[in-house]
Copies of this chain bind each other. A is one copy, B any other.
């Protein structure tokens, strides 16, 4: 994704992430590396295997995310190192009827081995209970 703006990288990432989350959670594993951290509802997990186990073991059959807002900032003062992506949205599990609000922050970093590719260094997810 070399040469693209942070906003374009973030938009592509977010579209891919939630589409994959809603259709094939195991497919998210490729986004994480050994240093990647996920904090999911306060539970901290590191590395692609543990993150996959967490995401695929969540206790619902189906989920549908809808993005309400996406904010993007360059994550480093020195420029070009990372991209901070902050998403707020709605989700419905197992067909509803309740819509839950969530917030999620990602820090994307350039992949050290794959030029123009990005991985998720930081991922923090919270439901916003009403």
Which positions in A face B, CB cutoff 8 Å? 33, 35, 37, 39, 42, 44, 69, 71, 73-77, 84, 86, 88, 101, 103, 105, 107, 109, 121-122, 124, 126, 128, 130
Q: Is the CB of B105 within 8 A of A84?
A: yes
Taking CB as reference atom, which chain B residue is nearest A76?
Answer: B121
Which of A35, A37, A105 has the most chain B CB atoms closer than 10 A to its own CB?
A105
Q: Which partner residue on chain B sits nearest A44 by CB separation?
A: B73
Shortest Cβ gap from A107 to chain B (Å): 6
Contact between chains at A75 and B107 (CB < 8 Å): yes
Contact B77 A35 (CB under 8 A): yes
The 9 A-B residue pairs whose C-beta atoms are closest, nearest first, are: A103-B103, A35-B77, A86-B124, A105-B105, A128-B128, A39-B71, A71-B124, A37-B73, A73-B122
